[in-house]
A and B are shown apart, each in its own frame.
Chain A
């Protein structure tokens, strides 16, 4: 049995089990016949009703005043519960600890958001540099970002000119997207805990650019027509590297997955965890 050491002492010789009885089948057959009578003939229903009453009474007498039991002998069972597999050596996580959930420490989600904000500044700077170099206007990329709100027939000169309302729309769009990407970054960080700059500086820009490359025609056709993809990827990489650097300066926090559920749920009670931190 499960506790084989104990069962050798306390397993009884005999056990009481509910006695077999025919009344349930009689009762069930009675009910079935009552219904079958509706599609055959009334006599069947009458027979069913008789069986039903007999079965109910018989069943009743079976369980009252005492439920009928039969005694069965307990068979000897010498089975020992053990694994049929090879025992393997295990990597020690710490002295006396056999299991741990890795990683033990990760960057917090807030690190991603901070990184996103810092990255947004870097990206804006790179984009304006692009506007200055190619069209001689730092407003060019800002106007392009909001070009989805303007008629598609806008000329290059119009786009390069300063436009206050475009600026006011562009800033929230830029900030919101940066924050979203940053928090996405923060959520992804625990899965790639080691190299935040590589994740932010290379993988994320490539994925993000790929996503935009395939959808930009729908979101912002004007931008799609005029976009310079090398510069776009470059500014993304700038965003990612800055964000990654900011993140890597943040403090790591411990993951909670090693904690018991009660601790994670915020229940504070003594004895929930062994205090080893003071060592």
Chain B
């Protein structure tokens, strides 16, 4: 009976586990993606189903400049995290603030656009299905940008107060993940609202 004599050798313990911050942020991103995908599906489903005007083509202006602002903030936050990881606090502070400024510019852009739509065009969330889906999808994204900006601003304040150091790079990196997510959601929203939907 030779066959049964096969056993595993004693396992060696070499123990590394993923970082809980990153895992949790990826889980949160998965949850947020699910929420956004429902709104995106609703937007696409209701495209052209409005019973009355106006249509997207008539009133939407493509926010190219603000989109570039938001997307480039992904690059600046990446550079900021890189600087922090290599211990260059000055560079970190500058890149981080630039990220905040770019994000704030984007949010201001959304505010200007909404102001134009609501006051100049008289187009609100109640106007028609397009209004309902447009304001809720873009508004949901703007809400996430706002949350991200608040977090970015807090970190910036803490940096100015000298509380952010090199050992916080991992936490800052997790926050940067969220910001990358907000940016990539905008790519989807932009494609859906301003390219496909228009």
The chain A residues found within 8 Å of chain B, CB to CB, are 60, 64-65, 93-94, 96-97, 99-101, 104-105, 254-255, 258-260, 263, 271-274, 276-277, 279
Is A94 a contact partner of B2 (Cβ separation < 8 A)? yes
Contact status B8-A94, CB under 8 Å = no
The reply to whether B163 and A65 contact each other, CB–CB distance below 8 Å, is: yes
Instruction: Say whether, besides A65-B163, A271-B9, A93 and B4 are in contact (CB < 8 Å).
Output: yes
Q: 4 new A-B pairs (CB below 8 Å) besides A97-B7, A99-B4, A274-B6?
A: A64-B158, A93-B4, A258-B3, A263-B6
- Pick from A101, A254, A274, A279: contact of B7, CB below 8 A: A274
Given contacts A93-B1, A104-B1, contact A273 B163 (CB under 8 A): no
**Bound-state Cα–Cα, A258 to B154, Å:** 58
B196 touches A (CB below 8 Å): no
Which residue on A lies nearest to B168, using beta carbons? A65
- The answer to whether B8 touches A260 (Cβ under 8 A) is yes
Neighbouring A residues of B1 by C-beta, 8 Å? 93-94, 100, 104
Q: List B6-37 residues whose CB lies under 8 Å from chain A.
A: 6-9
Give B residues with C-beta under 8 Å from A: 1-9, 154, 158, 163
A-B contact number at CB 8 A: 46
Cβ B7 vs Cβ A277 within 8 A? no
A260 touches B2 (CB 8 A): no
Q: Please pick, from B3, B6, B7, the residue contacting A105 in the complex, using a CB distance under 8 A.
A: B3
**B6 and A254 within 8 A (CB):** no
Cβ of B154: which chain A residues have Cβ within 8 Å of it?
60
Residues of chain A within 8 A of B7, CB atoms compared = 97, 273-274
Residues on A with beta carbons closer than 8 Å to the beta carbon of B6: 258-260, 263, 273-274, 276
Contacts of B4 in A (CB 8 A): 93-94, 97, 99-101, 104, 258
A57 to B6, CA, bound (A): 59
B5, B8, B9: the one within 8 Å of A97 (CB)? B5
The distance from the CB of A195 to the nearest CB of chain B, in whole angstroms, is 21
Beta-carbon contact of A274 and B5 below 8 Å: yes
Instruction: Determine if B8 and A276 form an interchain contact, defined as CB atoms under 8 angstroms apart.
Output: no
* Chain B residues within an 8 Å CB radius of A272: 8-9
Q: For the complex formed, measure the closest distance between the CB of A21 and the CB atoms of chain B, giving whole angstroms.
A: 18
Closest B residue by C-beta to A100: B4
Whole-angstrom distance between the Cβ of A151 and the nearest chain B Cβ: 54
A259 to B9, CA, bound (A): 12
Of B1, B3, B6, B163, most buried by chain A (CB within 10 Å of CB) is: B3
